[in-house]
Amino acid sequence: MAVDIYQSLWQEFALESGEHLDRLEPMLVAIEADPPAGGVDTSLVATLFRGMHSIKGMAAALSLRGMERVSHHAEHLLGQVRDGRCALDAPMAGLLLEAVDELKRLRTLSVRDRADVPASDAVMARLETARGRLEGLKERVSVEPGLASGIEAALTVARAARPVHPDHAALRRYVESVRPHLPELARMVGGVLEDPATRASVRRALETVREGARALDFPQVARTAEALAALIPAEGCLDYYAREQAIDGLAALRREMATLEAATGIDGGGKGLDEALNMALALDFSARRRALLEVLSRHDREPAAFGTGGAGAIRAAELAGDIYNHFSFLYHAHAGRLLLMIEDVLGHAARGDLVLTPVLIGLVRQTLAALAPAPGKPLRDLDAARAAEVLAAFEPAVREAEALAGPAAFGEDSESAVAGRQYLAELGVIPDLLDRLSDHQLGEAADRVAGGELRLWQIDAALEDAEDKAERFADWLESHGRALTSRATPGGGALSFQFLVLTAEDDRAVRAAMAAIDPEGRMLSARRFGAPEVAESVPVCDPAPARPPAALEIAPPAASPDSATGTVLRVPGEVVDHFLAVIGEMVMVGSLLDEAVWGEDQRSRLPQDLRRLVKEMRALGGADPGHLDQLARIAAAQDQRNLTLRKARERLTATLGRLQEAALELRVVPVATVFARLPRLARDLAASQGKQVRVEVDGRGVRIDKGMVDQLLDPLIHMVRNAIDHGIESPARRLAAGKPAVASLSIRAGQRDNRVVIEVTDDGRGLDADAIRRRAVEGGLIGDADSRLLGDAELFRLILVPGFSTAGTVTETSGRGVGMDVVHTSVHRLGGSIEIRSEAGQGATFTLRLPLSAAIQDVLLVDVDGRRHAIPVRHLLELTRARAGQSQIVHGQAVMLLHGALLPVFRLTRLLDGSSGPLPEGELPIVVLGDGRRRLGLQVDRVVRRQELFVRDIHPRVAAIPGVGGAALLGDGTVVLIIDGGDLFQLAEARAGAVVALSGPVPELVA
């Protein structure tokens, strides 16, 4: 079991991390090439961040430290972008692309070996440098202090995604309707419930809440109100337990209402309820606070109870959580936050994540003291500054306590800690401060300071009587550096501290900041460890890995996983293929059944025969009437059976059709997945030629068969390459021609009927019809006189002919041609067609028309010389037979007269293997094929049936054999070759060109 899970986790990791990386890359490429002027769209940033975040989480889960480190840093950078602390500009996108490339490399190796692979030092160094520099940057202009957290930013995006309720007007009415009632509910715990009028009004209030919630389909809100109503006794007040439950219930209800108030922006009476409860619950709060302090006092006597799994820590965390839960509805944001911090710290202590140091216990006590209400007064929230101060004090204490508990996430070993300590001591850090650093901190600080990435400062701060300065100093610390540790200054006042600070700021900036906070210089003094530095300007990112300056633009993939709300199953491709093969077999069995049911065989004639027999026997006389009646009944029963069979067969046909359609759906993927790789290709190509191009891809949600993905990619790459190589001019030429310097290349998909249409359009110089004509004549593809009869569209088609591109060295002025025959072949293999439109100087459009599914082909199965072949019906004109006297020899080629025109006839196998010989004698079936211009007849031994076949990928060597278009698996497991009709015409023409050319236009006939 465990082994299976292990196996599947790795598989899922490989799949999922690959998907994320494939999605991140094109987005970053687009941003790098052409950073949007107004900043990158926030939802795109959120997507990038989440992708990186997911990769990090997955890597961490499998202990892939190398990938974890790279993605961690990249995520951090994206987090800074998301929070508005820095811009996602071209260098940043380039750096992130480098991270993506490195992650791809690590992923491949890790998946192969199922082991961690260390990240490249160079990449890590660049990421860390960028991160360190960012941490030193002061710009936080675009972020309001309250919004500093990325969570809010993410929420703003998320909020737009879904309203709390679809009917906003109804929601507003509800919130308004409960406003007068909500404060009433405080009476449940306020001790005046004995008055019947009060009880009635509380009941009414709860009923209003409940009914409205039911109507809006908020079942949990309704349940909360119901539970509260159930607590109200027939007479008198709530007893102790009921009162406790009521407090919890009110807390829940208050929180639920807060969500609705926030969603509508309307006061729903929440504030009124808070006011009433602040008074009613002051005593309850005090009692609980005392209980928590009581438990904490045990820490001095038995510290073990506050270690991992310690009862004291668990109880204390529970109490803190209880206090929070009970009083959260009061919405004392600052006090609540501190309570949660206490709960969180104690909870982590109980889980062994941190060691409850005396410093932390002291902070917890201090915090609780600050929360105590004055006797006889309502509960009041802490002021923001005081709360921030306390929270800020927790931060370093928690990190220290965590460090004491064990190695940090990226587990530095103790060796680096020893070396680190030595290094820092040499810099002059006093032992008293060094003693307070964890192994992890020692190693990290030494590394980053030695690497010149961060600087280490000791800042002495005497902050007594200067609350505003203390706050500004704390702010500066939080935003511009990191306090590794601190201690009370020996001999200083109660609020004098020494801080050990890591920062990316240079000397001047730190001193300026200190001077700004404390102009007189009486309270703050700072010294940096290490050699004096030269002033420098700090770029955000290392410009070293310069990327080509191609200008690109890309729309995010239309059908990204983000937009799919349904459940996604992952099934290996072979399973689906097998599934389809079996369905194919069922379709075949279905047609056998058809024959049995509809065919004029003995069974279906049986009832008539029987009835006739009975009639004749009656006429003859002498037979036992009982026997004859029995026979008549058998005939009737047989009729009935045939009828049932037919109905079943009809339903089976319909069901099979639906099944096949559904199964084909399993194989489709967004065409955007094919497009995704093109912008980067275009960018690299254009940059290498000093051209500029804006690439636009739009899949428009069109989905194609998975089997087409690889076959489609090749021609698309060729067309993009071709457009950039030959179509798009240099910026200078474009400007000279009055066009914008940046060219545009668009690749769009659309769906018309059951065909996919893909258009590749550029605004380059277009195709030069005359140059193509000359090239074709020189290459001997066409006679000079003939060539002058062709229109532009026909001339353009010549570039698709295999001989064209090899006709000579293609020069700048020769127009298009390189590899376009590959495009033609691939598209043709897929059962598609190409159309070329171009206007000289204005650009060109290549339009591909492809079947939605290349995987299923409608074929005619034939047997020739003991082998079965499949002929795609799209070339099929009709089936006939060569009768004696109809066939003759013209120019050494067998022909027959069909519909008044000559039809060359070939033995299918001979055409394929190139052998020759007379056609076998006898009246054999002839399959007539046409390609719109020519016709040919194929002699076969037997026509088996028409069927839909599921085409499988075949070995390229087999696919390269002329005449072979693919292979398919029949339901019984035998392999059958699928004939390429287009190839057959070429083979036939090579064999008997003149005769085939003479075969004339195709008569209007339907197969």
Partner 1 sequence: MARVMIVDDSVMMRSMIAAILGADPELDVVERAGNGCEALDKLRASDCDIVLLDIEMPLMGGLEALKHLRLISHAKVIVVSSSAQAGSHTALEARREGAFAVISKPSGTVSLDLRDKRGHEILEACRRAAGLAGAA
- Binding to partner 1, residues 11-70 (CB under 8 A): 12-13, 15-16, 47, 49-50, 53-54, 56-58, 60-63
Minimum CB distance to partner 1 smaller for 48 or for 610: 48
| CB nearer partner 1, residue 389 or residue 953 | 389
Reported in sequence order, the residue ranges of 404-495 that DSSP labels E, i.e. its strands, are 455-462, 481-488
Residue environment code for 710-734, b if the CB has 16+ CB neighbours within 10 A, otherwise e: ebbbebbbbbbbbbbbbbbbebeeb
Least Å distance, CB 337 to partner 1, is: 6
Provide the minimum distance between the beta carbon of 571 and partner 1 in the complex, in angstroms, as a whole number: 12
Strands 935-939 and 668-670: unpaired
Shortest Cβ distance from residue 673 to partner 1 (Å)?
A: 17
Within 151-180, the residues that bind partner 1 by CB under 8 A are: 151, 154-155, 158-159, 161-162, 164
How far apart CA 165 and CA 170 sit, in angstroms, is 9
Residue at token pair 């369905």: 583
Which lies closer to partner 1 via its Cβ, residue 562 or residue 792? 562
Minimum distance, C-beta of residue 91 to partner 1, in the bound complex (Å) = 26
Q: Which of 660, 683, 713 is nearest to 949 (CA)?
A: 660
Q: Measured from the CB of residue 498, what is the shortest distance to partner 1 in angstroms?
A: 23
- Least gap, CB of 242 to partner 1 (angstroms): 20
Nearest to partner 1 of 347, 963 (CB atom): 347
283 interacts with partner 1 by CB under 8 A = no
In this complex, which beta carbon is closest to partner 1, that of residue 175 or of residue 902? 175
Q: Which is nearer to partner 1, 324 or 950 (CB)?
A: 324
Shortest separation between residue 93's beta carbon and partner 1, angstroms = 21
Which residues ranging from 93 to 152 are in contact with partner 1 (CB under 8 A)?
Answer: 149, 151
Alpha-carbon separation of residue 83 from 52, 90, 144 (angstroms): 16, 18, 10
Phi, psi of 4 (to 5 degrees): -60, -45
Nearer to partner 1 (CB atom), residue 71 or residue 744: 71
DSSP letter at 882 equals: -
Q: Nearer to partner 1 by C-beta: 171 or 799?
A: 171
- Among 351, 380, 733, 748, which residue sits at the site for partner 1 (rule: CB under 8 A)? 351
Cβ 562 to partner 1, closest distance in Å? 4
Tell which positions 261-280 bind partner 1, by CB under 8 A.
Answer: 262
C-beta of 463: minimal distance to partner 1 in Å? Answer: 22
Pairing mode of beta strands 703-705, 524-528: unpaired
Smallest separation, CB 277 to partner 1 (Å): 17
Report how far residue 823's alpha carbon sits from residue 837's, in angstroms, rounded to the nearest whole number: 16
The one segment of 6-14, 189-197, 528-536, 848-856 that binds partner 1 by CB under 8 A: 6-14
> Which amino acid is residue 137, in one-letter code?
L
252 belongs to the binding site for partner 1 (CB under 8 A)? yes
- Beta carbon of residue 103, minimum distance to partner 1 (angstroms, whole number): 15
Collapsing DSSP to helix, strand or coil, 669 comes out as strand
Least distance in angstroms from the C-beta of 46 to partner 1: 8
CB of 292: closest distance to partner 1 in angstroms? 16
Q: Of 28, 40, 354, 902, which lies in the binding site for partner 1, with binding defined by CB under 8 A?
A: 354
Check binding of 6 to partner 1 (CB under 8 A): yes
Which letter, b or e, does each residue of 525-555 get, where b requires 16 or more Cβ atoms within 10 Å of its Cβ? ebebbeeeeeeeeeebbbeeeebeebbbbbe
Which parts of 486-525 interact with partner 1 (CB under 8 A)?
none
Calculate the alpha carbon distances from 335 to 325, 375, 634 in Å: 12, 18, 91
CA–CA distance from 511 to each of 141, 499, 521 (Å)?
Answer: 21, 15, 10
Task: Give the angle 24-28-33 at the CA atoms, nearest 5°.
Answer: 155
Of 259-267, 478-486, 586-594, 683-691, the window that binds partner 1 (rule: CB under 8 A) is 259-267
Residue number, 110 or 498, with CB nearest to partner 1: 110
| Rounded CA separation 697/695 (Å) | 7
What distance in Å separates the CA atoms of residue 441 and residue 436, rounded to the nearest whole number? Answer: 10
Shortest distance (Å) from residue 555 CB to partner 1: 17
Task: Note whether 8 binds partner 1 by CB under 8 A.
Answer: yes
Candidates 141, 494, 531, 568; binder of partner 1 (CB under 8 A) is: 568
Interaction with partner 1 in 619-638: which residues (CB under 8 A)?
A: none
Name the residue nearer to partner 1 (CB basis): 9 or 958: 9
User: Nearer Cβ to partner 1, position 116 or 863?
Assistant: 116
Q: Which residue number, 154 or 659, has a Cβ lying nearer to partner 1?
A: 154
547-566 binders of partner 1 (CB under 8 A): 561-563, 565
Closest distance of CB 530 from partner 1, Å: 30
Distance in angstroms (rounded) separating the CA atoms of residues 297 and 295: 5
Separation between Cα atoms, residue 283 and residue 253, nearest integer Å: 21
Task: Write the binding mask 862 to 881 for partner 1: x where contact by CB under 8 A, - elsewhere.
Answer: --------------------
Beta carbon nearer to partner 1, 219 or 962: 219
Helices of type H across 232-374: 240-264, 270-280, 282-301, 311-327, 333-350, 358-371
| 250 versus 882: smaller Cβ distance to partner 1 | 250
> Would you tell me the crossing angle of helices 168-178 and 196-216 to the nearest 10 degrees?
170
Q: What CA–CA distance (Å, rounded) separates 881 from 942? A: 11
Could you say which residues in the range 390-419 bind partner 1, by CB under 8 A? 394-395, 398, 402, 409
In the complex, minimum distance from the CB of residue 282 to partner 1, in angstroms, rounded to a whole number: 21
| Through-space distance between the first and last CA atoms of the chain, rounded to whole angstroms | 57
One of 38, 141, 491, 567 touching partner 1 (CB under 8 A): 567
Q: Which is nearer to partner 1, 39 or 321 (CB)?
A: 321
Q: Are 212 and 179 in contact (CB under 8 A)?
A: no
Query: Residue 546: what are its φ and ψ, rounded to 5°?
Result: -65, 135
Helix, strand, coil percentages (3-state) for the chain, rounded to 5, are 55, 15, 30
Residue 691 CA to residue 855 CA, distance in Å, equals 38
According to CB under 8 A, which residues from 803 to 822 bind partner 1?
none
**Cβ(212)–Cβ(172) under 8 Å?**
no
Distance of CA 902 to the CA centre of its chain: 58
Contact status, residue 605 vs residue 581, Cβ threshold 8 Å: no
Decide whether 458 or 560 has the Cβ nearer to partner 1: 560
Phi-psi region of 899 (alpha: psi -120 to 50; beta: other; left: phi over 0): left
**What DSSP designation does 562 have?**
G
Number of C-beta neighbours around residue 27 at 10 A: 25
Tell me whether strands 867-872 and 975-979 are parallel, antiparallel or unpaired.
Answer: parallel
Residue 397: how many CB atoms within 10 A of its CB? 21
Smaller CB separation from partner 1, 364 or 723: 364
Give residues 195-234 in contact with partner 1 (rule: CB under 8 A). 213, 217-221, 223
In the complex, least distance from residue 911 CB atom to partner 1, rounded to whole angstroms: 51
Nearer to partner 1 by Cβ, of 53 and 646: the residue is 53
Using CB under 8 A as the binding rule, the residues of this chain from 320 to 349 that contact partner 1 are 321, 324, 328, 336-337, 340-341, 343-345, 347-348
Beta strands (DSSP E) in 791-941 are 833-839, 843-851, 856-864, 867-872, 876-881, 887-890, 893-898, 901-907, 925-930, 935-939
Q: Does 952 bind partner 1 (CB under 8 A)?
A: no
Number of residues binding to partner 1, judged by CB under 8 A: 71
When binding is defined by CB under 8 A, the residue of 176, 353, 447, 989 that contacts partner 1 is 353
Nearest distance, CB of residue 477 and partner 1, angstroms: 16
